[in-house]
Structure 1
Amino acid sequence: MSKTQTSLVLFFVVLIALLFAWAGGQYGPQFNIGEFTAVPLLVMAVLIVFLIQWLAFIPAYIKKTEHFYDLVGGVSYLVFVGGMFLATYQFDMRSLLLTVLVSIWALRLSLFLFKRVGQDGSDSRFDSIKHDFMRFLLAWTVQGLWIIVTAGCAVAAISSAQKVSLTMIDGIAILLWILGFAIEIIADQQKRQFKRQETKPTPFICQGLWRYSRHPNYFGEIILWFGIALLALPALQGWQYMTLLSPFFVVLLLTKISGIPLLEAKADERWQGLDEYQNYKNNTPVLLPNFLK
């Protein structure tokens, strides 16, 4: 992309996040910016999330490093979700659960990715962009959008004036989160252990959960975010229902944009000449596990 195109994308990324926050913050606390003007506090929280990304971008660009990209993402989740929880002064059980579950996921994933990039020495996603100011800035800004939209329905519910007691449906939502979280952790750990093996049966992982799906960690992540959306649903009203796009955004991101397409292309480039890889690819679903294999 040219610098002009990148600038336009940056503008629309921020605009989408602000519109999303405006919708999610309609029935939450307001921030007064004048005698007759107020904006949803969620909009101000979104601006803080972007500010964190842009401040972190400065030393990252100077050092041409992506090593603390994911760690900053995890901290941003904690600030976004935890900050809105504290700002509402209405500490009901649903809000507390949403805050805790999102925070646990964010901490686990960011620390896992931070450790991984430290062990691997780099993250190939950034090889071609970390020397380009605008493209690297876009990557940090898109991380802000990812945080805001992914956690959007949770934060909207946390800050909503509508408080609803927990029901059996919420128990199902929590079980979905637990299931997805467990699958993601197990799949990630299996892959790290596979990479550390000196002698491998195949050059690519196709054992454990990876026997049933080529991307079981992403399957787990999608499940847990649908669990979060289901838990958030009863507290939403009006325009806040727009934030239920959150789990579908996760699906779109992982299956069409930055997750599976990049990894599949990289795997095809490395192993497309191997019969065992073609057999694995032809007989193993991309995402939804086939436990009947």
Structure 2
Amino acid sequence: MTGFAWAPFAVNLAAAAGTALAVLLAAFAVGRAKGMHRVVDIAWGAAFAAVALVSYALSAGYGDDGRRLLVTTATMLWGLRLALHISQRGRGHGEDPRYERLLAKAPGNRAAYALRMVYLLQAALVWLVSLPVQAAQYTAGPLGVSAIIGGALWAAGFAFESVGDFQLARFKADPRNRGRIMDRGLWSWTRHPNYFGDFLVWWGLFALACGTWQAAAVSLVSPLVMSYLLIFGSGMRLLDNHLADRPGYAAYTARTSGFFPLPPRRAPREGTRSR
């Protein structure tokens, strides 16, 4: 059996939209009750895991079973690890400054503005970015070269962001590093190893979906949108702007690649203070 199951995939698109919306609405209820909307960042990864699981259940009998299981497992591992990491990182902290600044501009009811500009927007992005995860479930062609490439990209990205997050968490946990910039390990090769890892993960998932040209065509927008967000949108650019005034950050940017990992450039080190 080869090809792409268009009609069941169309049903899946609607189910995935409903799943993403349900997860983000639940997060909104929690965020409003707590008076803190950073919970949406936990829901981001969890929503992808939920979409993958629902798509796997709905696609039984349509796509290649090996591809379905591989893509679902990869997406759930990525999404749940990210949700757990962000949950642990935010424990004991107040509202994320990004959402404080956004909600300070609310023209009316802050809760309604947060729902519209944060939660519903992220639900739409989860649906759009997860297109390779959905399309892969309905691709009947057997695993081939594209799956090997995709699996390798996903594994490299997952390892890169996991190691980067672990290194940063361990650095911050040491009182001797208070006020210093993390510029060791992967952070000496790129200022954003977690974002670069996400970049590889989503191009890998796209490659895993490419068992047919139809699946590739319908899901190419996903890694393109994710790449734009990571590099020019709410990822690297926004964080660099937020940290730009920190003492020592200019020296760090002078010697460290912004996104793609490169050997650190030689530059005079100054007393650094941190992210």
1:154 touches 1:228 (CA, 8 Å); kept in 2?
yes
2:19 equivalent among 42, 48, 53: 48
1:70 equivalent among 41, 51, 61: 41
The residue number in structure 1 matching 2:251 is 279
1:61 touches 1:136 (CA, 8 Å); kept in 2?
no
Residue 26 of structure 1: how far off its partner (Å): 7.2
Poorly superposed stretches of 4+, deviation over 6 Å: none
Query: What percent of counterpart residues are identical?
Result: 26
Residue 133 of structure 1: how far off its partner (Å): 2.2
The residue number in structure 1 matching 2:268 is none
How do residues 8-157 of structure 1 correspond to structure 2 at under 5 angstroms?
27-29=6-8, 40-90=11-61, 92-129=65-102, 132-137=110-115, 138-157=117-136
Residue 279 of structure 1: how far off its partner (Å): 2.8
The residue number in structure 2 matching 1:17 is none
Aligned-CA RMSD value: 2.4
Structure 1's 251 and 203: CA in aligned 2 closer, same or farther, altered over 3 A? Answer: same
The residue number in structure 2 matching 1:182 is 159
Residue 223 of structure 1: how far off its partner (Å): 0.9
The residue number in structure 2 matching 1:12 is none
1:288 paired to 2:260:
yes
TM-score by length of 1: 0.79
Aligned AA (2:208): L
Structure 1's 133 and 122: CA in aligned 2 closer, same or farther, altered over 3 A? Answer: closer
The residue number in structure 2 matching 1:248 is 224
Q: What is the CA–CA distance in structure 2 between the aligned matches of 1:122 and 1:292, rounded to whole Å? A: 33
Structure 1's 166 and 77: CA in aligned 2 closer, same or farther, altered over 3 A? Answer: same
Q: What is the CA–CA distance in structure 2 between the aligned matches of 1:236 and 1:48, rounded to whole Å? A: 26
Aligned AA (1:100): T
TM-score by length of 2: 0.83
2:150 touches 2:205 (CA, 8 Å); kept in 1?
yes
Number of positions where the alignment pairs a residue of Structure 1 with one of Structure 2? 254
Mark the runs of 5 or more structure 2 residues left unpaired by the alignment.
Answer: 105-109, 266-275
Q: What is the CA–CA distance in structure 2 between the aligned matches of 1:171 and 1:142, rounded to whole Å? A: 33
How do residues 185-264 of structure 1 correspond to structure 2 at under 5 angstroms?
185-200=162-177, 203-237=180-214, 241-264=217-240
The residue number in structure 2 matching 1:267 is 243
Structure 1's 202 and 76: CA in aligned 2 closer, same or farther, altered over 3 A? Answer: closer
Aligned AA (1:135): Y
Aligned AA (2:262): N
1:57 touches 1:140 (CA, 8 Å); kept in 2?
yes
Q: What is the CA–CA distance in structure 2 between the aligned matches of 1:119 and 1:149, rounded to whole Å? A: 32
Mark the runs of 5 or more structure 1 residues left unpaired by the alignment.
Answer: 1-24, 31-38
Q: Deviations over 1:182-216 (max 9, x none)?
A: 00001111111111221239721111111111112
Structure 1's 120 and 168: CA in aligned 2 closer, same or farther, altered over 3 A? Answer: same
Structure 1's 67 and 263: CA in aligned 2 closer, same or farther, altered over 3 A? Answer: closer
